[in-house]
Amino acid sequence: MPDVPADDAAPGRAEPARPAAADGGLERAIRAVARGDERAFTTVYDQVAAAVLGTARRVLRDPAQSEEVMQEVLLEVWRTAARFDPASGSAFSWIMMLAHRRAVDRVRTEQRAADRQLRAARASIEYDEVIDAVESRLEHERVRRCLGSLTDLQRESVTLAYYGGYSYPEVARLLGVAVGTVKTRMRDGLIRLRDCLGVE
Amino acid sequence: MGGSRAGLHTLVGAYVMDAVPDADRAAFERHLTGCEPCREEVRGLREATARLGAAVAIEPRPQLRDQTLSAARRLRQLPPLVAQRRDPRMARRPARWTRLSGAVRQSWLARLAATAAVILAVVVVGLSLHLTSMQHRLSSDEQGSHAIAAVLGASDAKMMTAKVRTGGMATVVMSHRARELVFTASKLSVLPQSRAYELWLMGPAGDKPVGMLAPAHGGMAGPMVVRGLVHGDRLVLTVEPVGGSPQPTTSPIVVIGLGI
């Protein structure tokens, strides 16, 4: 299932299973994009656009705004590909970082107080929605299973922050726990998620 | 200190999920610069959050593909950040931050006071002509002076100097905690009337124009306060058309890594 390019896989060493988007092919494509390679950019688009759009949609809810964010993020990748630094993480995590940050920035700048209350009211259903959406594909299934291995408080802290776009003080308020507790649960939850997913 | 560092470190989870308010984020990113294990943890947790995103992927409408690809074709790409290493005329050893000693601080403040005096003199001369606009100018200059004094007076203020490739020296005094810096340059080469020095912040997310340096006053250009510094930013000086450019059009004549 994982499509591991021959020149990246060390002979005789089993590569851990990773999603296609996180393998060396994307890094290579980004390097080519940095040199202005338009075909490589279509490769990048095809590998990440759905994940970027899905993330934006989770945070923003609004389909039109989510599409805007997706396009902005892809154009940012095109524009700044030469400044991608492999030492600070995989190309996929770099792009997803740009996507999530941009979606959250939009929420924080545009959200009016009334809106926020509305979102708070909806927050209780976030987790169920995540589970609804993560079906069928293997990747979805693995993430769902790994989210399930977190404690309730860890999982709620992580999903409210990542999918809900809430800051940790807001998450603490929504969950009715101390901010210090939420900070710790977010970190512990992500560490457990990382270990469960087997990412380095 | 130990307690607050440990407290900071637990922010790593919230940080990679963009769930940290601005004030905390500045403190955390400063913590990151001096903590390799923390950066390693950030890397690992970012891979995990990326998978959270991948798990909720939605196939975009097919039209968006062509729109995005053709928009990219019309968009100029940023060059890699290499100026410091590539140009042998630039400082060979990596520049170092030095703590701002009391004496240096005093001399800067004195210089600042001198600048303010010059501005004040100009204001007094022009007063009868443009009373309102001058008052505007004075109040914004005063604000500028306060901002400068705040950076210079910060307990963590550090100074760095770098040679400007085309002549002169650039000096930065920075408070990492406040994420603010003051930039000045001395002995910059005189430019043709159609050209001016423009200051930029260049980082992973792109180039941001900071402002045009006013023509040098007695060999000094600036001081200019730069705020809102983010992780990975570098301070860059280029020569641009006198009205400024939205993107740098010439190669950097000085690049200063800010260590944030």
Q: What is the pLDDT of residues B29-70, one digit of tens each?
A: 888 888 889 999 999 999 999 999 999 999 999 999 999 999
**Is there a domain that residue A71 lies in?**
yes
Q: Which residue would you say has higher pLDDT here, B48 or A17?
A: B48
Of A110, A133, A163, the one marking the end of a domain is A110
Q: What is the pLDDT of residue B4?
A: 55
**Statement to judge: residues A26 and A72 lie in one domain:** yes
Contact A143 B55 (CB under 8 A): yes
Starting at the edge strand that comes first in sequence, how are the strands of the sheet with B220-226 ordered? B98-99, B158-163, B169-175, B180-186, B220-226
Contact B56 A97 (CB under 8 A): no
Give residue B144's pLDDT band: very low, low, confident or very high (50, 70, 90): low
Flag whether pLDDT at A124 surpasses 50. Answer: no
**Angle made by CA atoms A190, A192, A193, in degrees to the nearest 5:** 60
Q: Which residue of A has its CA nearest to B56?
A: A54
Give residue B106's pLDDT band: very low, low, confident or very high (50, 70, 90): low
Starting at the edge strand that comes first in sequence, how are the strands of the sheet with B206-212 ordered? B206-212, B195-203, B234-241, B254-257
- Most confident option among A52-56, A105-109, B77-81, B208-212: A52-56
Q: Which residue of A has its CA nearest to B12?
A: A187
User: Mean pLDDT, to the nearest integer, of A94-108?
Assistant: 93
CB B229 within 8 A of CB B215: no
| Model ipTM over 0.90 | no
CB B162 within 8 A of CB B253: no
Q: What is the pLDDT of residue B87?
A: 44
Give the closest of B45, B79, B203 to A190, CB-based.
Answer: B45
Its CATH architecture, for the domain B2-54, is Orthogonal Bundle (1.10)
Specify the CATH number for the domain of residue A183. 1.10.10.10
Q: What is the pLDDT of residue B47?
A: 95
Tally of domains in chain A: 2
**Residue A199 domain boundaries:** 113-200
Give the closest of B7, B52, B206 to A162, CB-based.
Answer: B52
**Statement to judge: residues A139 and A103 lie in one domain:** no
Give the closest of B51, B65, B75 to A75, CB-based.
Answer: B75
User: Mean pLDDT, to the nearest integer, of B211-228?
Assistant: 75
**Statement to judge: residues A50 and A129 lie in one domain:** no
Report the sign of the C-alpha dihedral through residues A78, A82, A88, A91, in that order. positive
CA distance B208 to B47: 28
The ranges of chain B annotated as CATH 1.10.10 are 2-54
